[in-house]
Each structure stands twice: as C-alpha cells, then as structure tokens.
Amino acid sequence: MSKKDLGLLILILVVGAVVAIINPRFLLPINLANTSNLIGLFGILAIGQAFVIITGGIELSVGSVVALLGVLFVDFIATRGMGWPVALPLILMLGGIIGLAHGWLITRLNLQPFVVTLCGLLIYRGVARFYTADGTAGFAFGQNFPELEFLTAGRSYGVPNSFIALIVIAIVMWVVLHRSVFGRYLYAIGKNEEAAKYSGIRTGRVVMAAYVICGVLTALSAIYFAMYTRSISPASHGQFYELYAIAAAVLGGFSLRGGEGSLIGVILGTVLLQELQNLVNLLGIPSSLNFAVMGGVILIGVLVDQQWSVYRERRLMLEATRKGAAGAPAE
C-alpha cells in the first residue's frame, strides 16, 4: 500500500470515527452491510473506469451503459423469460462488445476517448429509452429468481455478496494491473504511448483490452444495479454514475493524464464516496447538500494530496542531496 493510499485510508477512518461519535448507529452491522453493498456496486464500476483512465483515456458512457444493459437484462429475464444463466453472460458479452467498439474507434480510427464515450453516453441512453418507449423495465410483483438474487442482492454471514464480488474482482484486477505484463503495458501506454509503440508493443490491442475490461465490469455492475433497484426507468437510471466512478478513481490517486494510480486507491476512493452519502443521510444533512458535500470532500482530498506530495518531494530531494553529498567523495 502506497503512502497515498494510506492517507486516504486514514481519512476514511477519521470521517467514520467522527460520524460514529455523532451518531453511533453508523456502526450498526446493518448500516455497514448496506453501505458495503453499494461500495460493491460502485466499486466494480470504478475498477472498470480505472483501467481506462490508466491508459490516459476516459469512459463517459458508463452511466448510460448501466441503464441500457440493466434494461435489457431485466427485460430478458422478466419479460422474455430467458433464463438468467443465459442472460447474464449475454449481458457481459454485450458490455464487452461496447467496450470493444469504443476501443476500436479510439485506437484504429484515432478518435478522442472523450468524444467517443460522450457520443456513447448520448446514444446508449437514447437507445435504452427507445427500447422501453420511455417506460420502466421492472419485475412483476412477486417475480423471483432465488439464486440470482442470492448472488447479487443476498448476504453471506451478513456480508453482502456484492461486496464479496468486489473483493474477488479487486484481487484479480490488482494482480492484473500491478503484477502482470499487461498491467505494465497499461502504465507505459498511459505515460508515453509513442514510446510504447516504438518498443514493439501493440498498443492498439492493449488499449482496446482496457476498454473491453471496462465494458465487461460495467455490464456486471449494471446487473448488480438492476437487481438492487429491481426497476429501471431508462431516462434517469445510472445518470452521473460515470462521474462517481471517475471521482472515485481521482480520489484514489489516478491522474486523468494517464499512467498513474493504484487499484487499492480506486477502492478506497469508492469507499470514501459512499461513506459520504451515508453520512449525509445519517446526520440528517439536507439531501440537497449531498452533491455539495461530495464535491467539497473530493476537492479537499485532492488538494491535500497534491500539497502533501509537493512537500514530500521537497523533503525527498533534500534527503537525497544529503545522502549524495555524503557518498560522493568516497567514489
């Protein structure tokens, strides 16, 4: 765990402690379980986003994809009677295809990620709304899918299964991002794509793979969200979720210029954001201030982090010089 992540963890704990002192019910197992459920949902989304951000890209269509795939998933299993073991991989595949399309447009046709995914944001929401004719996709009363519900909305030993899913995904993705060759390429491309190309890396494929990973993880979280709300009005479902995901990554130390950030960071960023939402409700802060609190904390977090790293760099430089000065004459 880097020092940056540690700082974020401390912030989370301090905020948690303050809230717990004001309202001890914050620490009730049921509250922690509820919040960790949402951490699971948004965390999966944020990890996907992180893979794209690390390459220096951005994925703005996340919220719309959550709406579109959520609508399709509910429609498939609730209305069209498709079995969920068929629908689930189908949706994941669709997510992958969307990611592939974005990656293709970005790497092969050289379009800017912001532009491609902005168009995605508009198009997918439009398609979702058209698909339901602006209606709501939902389950009928009493319609049940016990195994699916257990996997998505259920709990094991009091821990939401969505949170467990996040942990598993996070571990796998940590290995991929921080230990595998692929992860290393992602970092390299994020910093200097041209140089990576000169080193014989098929940068196009690597970047495309990042978008596919993002697409699949987004699809997965779309299913989780669908099973959480159990009803999706495509005009508003998932709106701004891309901002949550990006905010989580940024809080977690990712640079939108690419090439920086850690998986632990993005998880901690998600945790902090959800803690803030929980806090607004638990402390009875007017809901209208929800966004303002979130924005304020992100800004402060980023500021502190930035100032701190300036300070650290200066200290490091001093130290290095001192060491260098001591060592040099001996050479």
Partner 1 sequence: MCRLGVRFGPAARIDEPCKGRQSADVARTAHRLLSGMMNYSDASIGASTIAPFLSLEGVRKTYPGVVALDGFSLEVRPGEVIGLVGENGAGKSTLMKILGGVTTPDAGTITVDGVAHDGLTVEASIGSGIAFVHQELNLFENLDVAANIFFGREPLRAGPLRLVDRTRLRTLAAPLLKRVGANFSADTPVSALSLAQQQMVEIAKALSIEARLVILDEPTSSLPLAETDKLLDVIKALKADGISVIFISHRLHEVERVADRVVVLRDGMLAGTLPKNAINHDQMVKLMIGRMLKEREKAAESARPPGAVALSAKAVRTSAYPDRPVDLGVRRGEILGLAGLVGSGRTELARVLFGIEKSLGGVLQLDGKDLVLGSAADAVANGIFLVPEDRKLTGILLDLSIAQNISLPNLPAHARRSLVSARAEAVTAEKQKRNLGIKAPSVATRTGTLSGGNQQKVVLAKWLAMSPKVMILDEPTRGIDIGAKAEIYGLMRALADAGVAVLMISSDMEEVIGVSDRIAVMHEGQISGILDKEQFSQENVLLLAVGKQPK
Partner 2 sequence: QDKPTLAFVVNGASDFWKAAEAGVKKAQAELPNYNLELKYPEQSSVAIQQRLMDDLVTAGVKAIMVSAVDPKTSTDGLNKIASETALFTTDSDAPQTKRIAYIGSSNIDAGKQAAEIAKKAMPDGGKCLGFVGLLGADNAKERIEGMKEGLAGTKIELIDVRGDDIDQARAKKNVEDALVASPDVTCMVGFYSYNTPRIYEALRDAGKLGQITVVGFDDDPITLGGVKEGTVAATVVQQPFEWAYQGMKLMAAYLEGDKSGIPENGLIIIPTKIIGKDDVDAYAANLKAMSGN
Query: Pairing relation of β-strands 159-160 and 155-156?
Result: antiparallel
Q: Give the one entry of partner 1, a copy of itself, partner 2, none that residue 231 binds, where binding means its C-beta sits below a cut-off of 5 to 8 angstroms depending on kind.
A: partner 2
Q: Which of 168, 163, 187, 150 is nearest to 51 (CA)?
A: 187
Candidates 201, 243, 256, 302: give the one binding partner 1 (CB under 8 A): 201
Could you tell me the CA-to-CA distances from 13 to 261, 272, 276 in Å, in that order? 21, 9, 12
Interface characters, 159-198, with partner 1 (x: CB under 8 A): ----------------xx--xxxxxxx-xx-xxx-xxxxx
Candidates 11, 26, 44, 87: give the one binding partner 2 (CB under 8 A): 26
Our CB check for partner 1 shows the closer of 208 and 280 to be 208
Bin 258: left if φ > 0, else alpha if -120 < ψ < 50, else beta. Answer: left
> Which stretch, 87-95, 159-167, 191-199, 296-304, contacts a copy of itself (CB under 8 A)?
296-304
Three-state helix/strand/coil letters over 45-89: HHHHHHHHHHCCCCCCCHHHHHHHHHHHHHHHHHHCCCCHHHHHH
Candidates 2, 156, 281, 306: give the one binding partner 2 (CB under 8 A): 281
Rg, C-alpha atoms of the chain: 21
Coil, strand or helix: which one is 23? coil
How many residues in the shown chain lie near partner 2 by CB under 8 A? 45
- The single-letter DSSP state of residue 25 is G
The residue ranges that bind a copy of itself (CB under 8 A) are 105, 109-112, 114-116, 118-123, 125-127, 129-130, 133-134, 235, 243, 246-247, 250, 255-257, 286-296, 298-299, 302-303, 306-307, 310
The residue ranges that bind partner 1 (CB under 8 A) are 175-176, 179-185, 187-188, 190-192, 194-202, 204, 259-260, 314, 316-322, 324-325, 327-329, 331
